[in-house]
Amino acid sequence: MTNYKFKRTIIGKLPYGTDLLEGLTQLVQKENIRCGRIHGIGATTHAVVAYYDQNTKKYSPMEFKGGMEILNLQGNVSIRDGKPFVHIHILLSDPQGKVFGGHLMPGTKLWASELIIDEFEGEELVRGQDENTGLFLWKTGYPS
Ligand code: ZN
């Protein structure tokens, strides 16, 4: 853990039909946001989220066809392979209000979105493969 200074906030939407993960990745790379926090709400026409199985160390994807509400989207921007990388978890609800969620995967298409991205200045959070989990986690820790 280290200290970060708030730099700026970007608020807006991505166009109808955008792939959510791809659209956010392109946005942070274009804006050169290297450390940040992402929040959002909206709706999807098709969603793909995953559960990371700690035993197999693999993502199991789940697909939600048809309209779902994005009740909450939360994530961060850090550095992987030298480039800004987006990591998002998302909560979705179906027409009965049942909630599902997971790690956002490619293939999630937006129907609507309202996104807030906060950019911070400070030491870059760089991802690297972690031997305990198999995931690409932050190398920065506490104490570091
Ligand atoms: Zn995740």
Q: What is the pLDDT of residues 63-110, one digit of tens each?
A: 999 999 999 999 999 999 999 999 999 999 999 999 999 999 999 999
Q: Tell me, what's the pLDDT at 142?
A: 62
CA–centroid distance, 50 to ligand 1, in Å, is 8
Q: How far is ligand 1, taken at its centre, from the CA of residue 90, in Å?
A: 9
Residues with CB under 5 A from ligand 1 (ion): 103
Amino acid letter for position 111: W
Q: pTM of the predicted model, to two decimals?
A: 0.94
Distance between Cα 103 and ligand 1 center (Å): 4
d(CA 28, CA 97): 31
C-alpha 37 – ligand 1 centre gap (Å): 14
Q: At residue 135, does pLDDT exceed 60? A: yes
Give the three-class secondary structure for 26. Answer: helix
Nearest to 62 by CA among 46, 86, 75: 46
Distance in Å, CA 25 to ligand 1 centroid: 15
Six token digits for residue 88: 């998002």
* 6 Cα to the center of ligand 1, angstroms: 24
Tens-digit pLDDT profile for residues 19-44:
999 999 999 999 999 999 999 999 99
* C-alpha of residue 105 to centroid of ligand 1, in Å: 9
**Residues 48-65, mean pLDDT to the nearest whole number:** 97
The set of residues, in sequence order, having a beta carbon less than 8 Å from that of 60 and lying 6+ positions away, is 50, 51, 52, 53
Cα(119)–Cα(54) distance, integer angstroms: 31
Query: What gap in Å lies between CA 132 and CA 60, rounded to an integer?
Result: 19
For residue 87, the CA-to-ligand 1 centroid distance in Å is 6
> pLDDT grade, residue 140 (50/70/90)?
confident
